Amino acid sequence: MRLVIACFASALLSSLFTVWLTSENSTAVALAQSGTGLEFPSKPVFNDEKPVVPQTRQQRPEVENASFRMTNEEAISVAVYERVNKSVVNITTQAQGGGIFFRNVPAEGSGSGMVIDTHGHILTNFHVIEDANRVEVNLFDGSSYEASLVGADPVNDIAIIKIDAKQDVLHPVTLGESSQLKVGMKVYTIGNPFGLERTMTTGIISSLNRTLQVRENRTIKSIIQIDAAVNPGNSGGPLLDTQGSLIGVNTAIASKNGQNAGVGFAIPVNLVARVVPQLLQYGRVIRPEIGIQHVYETDAGLLIETLTPGGPAEQAGLRGPKVVSQRRGPFVVERIDRSVADLIVGIDGQEVQSVDDFLTYIETKKPGDQVVIDVLRDGERTRITVKLTGTAPRKTSL
């Protein structure tokens, strides 16, 4: 009997122990599967050693070693700039300002220009260096030179100045052709707007054969209109085609405030090419002289006001106003009788409507040429042949 009770007690204790173990294991599994992220480290957490953090292997992004690619349009722009930028110069000027009650104060100006040969000749606008007492030219390498005036043509706003620089820093621009230009063609300008040297802008030819007034009663014909940005300081800089050849000289902008408004103008290179050789040789353009100093524009034609005494027109028989003297009591009064003056209505068979038309045609001739002037005299049309003369070169200086 005691043996049976002992066996039963032993079995009961064994069963209770098994139940306890099963309960402990269930708790551990529940904690591990609960997603709490709790772990039981094999070492105490408060020790001097830092716990080891497992590292995941990260993939580094692959960097392509591909060369930079430009579009065809960008490549052309870069090529044009690299070809021409060393030809462009920055021009600064000083002129004495002031008046009766003020001391003369130097007034500074700036513009652009371009090297045209290895002798130091620089092409720019006349208005850039007009009235300047001192002209300074800065080249691409930062070197600076004082310039002297070689020649100027105020009528066409063109001037040539010269610096004494070594040939290895002089990179002449390549002359292009402006007679074959078309509206819509791509163009480039390089200049010094606001003193920012050798700045490049791009655009297109917006129109051709514009007329630009540069002096009283005088205009430049065949002007190129562009939409490339042209700002103060760009005057005298080159207008270039896609080959990097010179097709014009930037000269003006159409703006109410003097800033770029998308309308710029350039003198065509073919006109420049006709003028520059005379500026280099004579210092000025040798224009044919007809000997008519002043006319009045009327609806019917050009009424002669003043003839050059002994000039070609007077020698040919053209007539101006007549001074008539009248006695009024003890006084002699003189008056001008314009009714006897010739009214110019044509030249070489072409109708004349303005002073600019007349002078522009004369400039297509050379000294020694003859022109036939159509005039109205005493109500009748008369033709008079005039032989043009030339004026002697005049010395130019700053």
Name 339's Cβ contacts closer than 8 Å, sequence gap at least 6.
none
Q: Which helix (H) or strand (E) holds 11?
A: helix 2-33
- Catalytic choice (127, 148, 171, 222): 127
Residue 137 — φ and ψ, nearest 5°? Answer: -115, 130
Distance CA 138, CA 103 (A): 29
Exposure of 374 in the CB half-sphere (CA atoms within 13 A): 13
For residues 50-73, b (16+ Cβ closer than 10 Å) or e, as one string? eeeeeeeeeeeeeeeeeeeeeeee
Name the token pair of 189. Answer: 């300008």
**Closest CA relative to residue 216, chosen from 355, 346, 351:** 355
- Catalytic choice (178, 235, 245, 342): 235
- Asked whether 343 and 305 are in contact (CB, 8 A), the reply is no
- CB burial of residue 340 (10 Å; 0-12, 13-18, 19+): middle
Considering just the CA atoms, what is the radius of gyration of the chain in Å? 44
Give the number of other CB atoms < 10 A from CB of residue 373. 25
**Closest CA relative to residue 291, chosen from 162, 387, 221, 377:** 387
Distance CA 323, CA 337 (A): 6
Name the one residue in this structure whose structure tokens are 């001097």: 48
Task: Establish whether 235 is a catalytic residue.
Answer: yes
- Asked whether 341 and 263 are in contact (CB, 8 A), the reply is no
Task: Establish whether 127 is a catalytic residue.
Answer: yes
Tell me the sheet residues that pair with 384.
Answer: 373
Task: Establish whether 119 is a catalytic residue.
Answer: no
- Catalytic choice (110, 112, 153, 157): 157
3-class secondary structure, 17: helix
Q: Which residues are catalytic?
A: 127, 157, 235
